[in-house]
Amino acid sequence: KWSEDFTKFISACLIKDYEQRPSAEELLRNENFVKFDDETKESYRDLLKTYHMKLSSLDVPDVSVESD
């Protein structure tokens, strides 16, 4: 089973609305992330960079919603 801190960190990473989701830099400074050892941090940095590159190359529709 995953720790509560890990679950919170991953949940923050998976917020779909980019306006609500913390930036990669903010996630890497997150109190839950800084508790990880250096090897784990490096693995997550690599993973976040990989996903960021993949997502930035996709033609994704705007998911933000404005009220009228």
Task: Please report, for the chain, the start and end positions of each structural domain, with discontinuous segments joined by +.
Answer: 4-54
Instruction: Work out the percent of the chain whose per-residue pLDDT is above 70.
Output: 79
| pLDDT the model gives residue 20 | 92
Give the pLDDT confidence of 28-38 residue by residue, as tens digits. 787 766 777 78
Task: Write the DSSP string, the chain.
Answer: ---HHHHHHHHHHT-S-TTTSPPHHHHHH-TTTTTS-HHHHHHHHHHHHHHHHHHHTS----------
